[in-house]
A and B are shown apart, each in its own frame.
Chain A
């Protein structure tokens, strides 16, 4: 078999002639650039990519990717994407959604797509606000958040996207920020790790809506604070953070606590294990609001059979056991009788 040579792609090959229409300064630009930059390195054919989205600012993403794409309806991208993978399991499908699209109106579909482990990559842009509809609170908005629809503050308890994804059995769960001025710019690496994962990969991306919820994640992206308020997860390594890498996370009974490396040895810190869902869940509960650094990187990564692979395996097994279906035989089967002239 001759190997068909892959074209040498650059980020430009994944752009389109469509004018990008996000607000100037929106965090989406950084994510778009990171995706366009990551794809050439993955060595997959451009025509095999399908970007699927729902509705919302983030969901305009497919129009700006020079690949196949479907801009669907609100919340339903996981179902559309599942259909794409069912029809052709060989495609590289990426799903772009937001906190409203993916966790509110589309929460049900997200649950089932993740638990089925459809082999596709989910980029969930979390900006804790509804941007496209101009500023209502979202399912990830913090309690008390004053928005257009909550003038006295939100009374909803927010959903934690990482806890959610773990709870519905996602096999790859990660978190990044759109930009990082503190040197923890891991978005590109996480995108590639997700792409190389066989199964549903869920990435929560902290994204700045500079119009309706500006600086919601400032603490996690700015030069001075990023390393103090986030902790990078690396499989097999201790959880160390801080501008001077002088702090760590320790497991005390069933709770996580911040300790100073002056007093605690690195060996006594919590070591990250991507395969342990209970540990990943504990990590997903660490929040800035409660004075903890928030983990970024890969929380959880395990191998499980993929939905569309198992589906095709059943089709192939049926073909093997019963042979290629013969339509004439299918029609002419069961209890038949003949009426003669």
Chain B
């Protein structure tokens, strides 16, 4: 590959916002047909790099302060210096020879134009198409990205499509002019794993077919291992390390890469283990890798005691599509006949795709959402029979941690105030001095210092804010913490630290967790039991080891198979779930069939509907 000159060559590139450099002295080459992954955590400069190759950084008011990007149209032609082209010249390359797909499929398409308009627009801009031939070509492109019913799709608007479908339309648009380079900036991050697997497969196939080179920007080491030939690791705007994918995963040279790889939860890492294990923390302290703590088995479940919470035949539905006179035409069947127990000290994970009802279950337990029927029993008492005071105690004993640590703290209150709020609300302490002392203790408990209580949320990083949210949850001495995708917005190194903290708190305080997540690898690491949800019903539930090592239900198998594994020698054939995630919205009167669960071994339940899922 190195005998031919590179297709794209980034040389000593500096990108700056004013005097603040976000990319520093970055160089790498991209060869024809190659997939180059640029990995890094937030703030590493990877997205700015991708925009620079498109000549788009000036739209974000950033400038290319130094360096150049060279692009060769053919291997024997002289290189074109993209960074020196006028905007008009660059527009002829942008979208035609180098094109890009973006992270957020939900906002990538213009809401007021049809899919057809948006695809034919690129075709007619760069190619020699009439209205009719452009339409034909758009149809072909939609079929290329495996979208069924392309004819009617042309006339539809983005809001009528799911995230996965929109991302395919985006890919069709990016590939419209058969580009030589495709820049994909976190193209699957916002999607469910099953849809991610579909999209990755499409990009891979089309890359082969069109002979494109791909720059794949991602933070997900699993995806890197799956798709990349060559990897550039970035941190704080600088290149840390560069190697071919096998070498990088087998023998990372730089301490940062080693720490990064160590922090990545890998599916299958707990094979053969009955209990979750808190791993020692491997941290990059700026110069070298430091290991903190030691591996500890998470033997915390108190089987003999009354469950913290028992959910029995829970049904939660929402009415939608109200008619003119308030009549209900459709309902969301979010949760259908779900039952489970959580013991003190136990972590039960709820997993499933978007719309599977996992968050609704969490919200219903916390009484943030009314159930339609069924019982929720706390420490032996059904919620329905509780007095106001008992319900208040319940709110104290069950705490919630949300996904977005930025949105879940009041920006105008000090974090100390936010942490003290549950203590005041539930009148756990009256004396202001003792409250302040308790807040300090809680902050230390989550690895911050008491002085942090005086500061405001914007002064903290995402990981620190999630620690603050955990401190707030701990403030009312809960028995159960519901963590709803609480780790999803965090970088892997931070994620590893929060997992470590949550497991430590479980050992020391005997907390039970209801851990709601779409990330199977994290679930494998920290849960005792797992419930797999599909369209509001549990399709499989059992000890983590049973569900992960010997999944019984077809859906569980497919879900597990879609997860990319952070090991390039382990590239597997995915059992692809075709089509879209099914919708839990049904017409009134069209009741879903509720399938019974069979106990196949002790505590391992499998639904009888094995065959009825999309295949």
A binds B: no
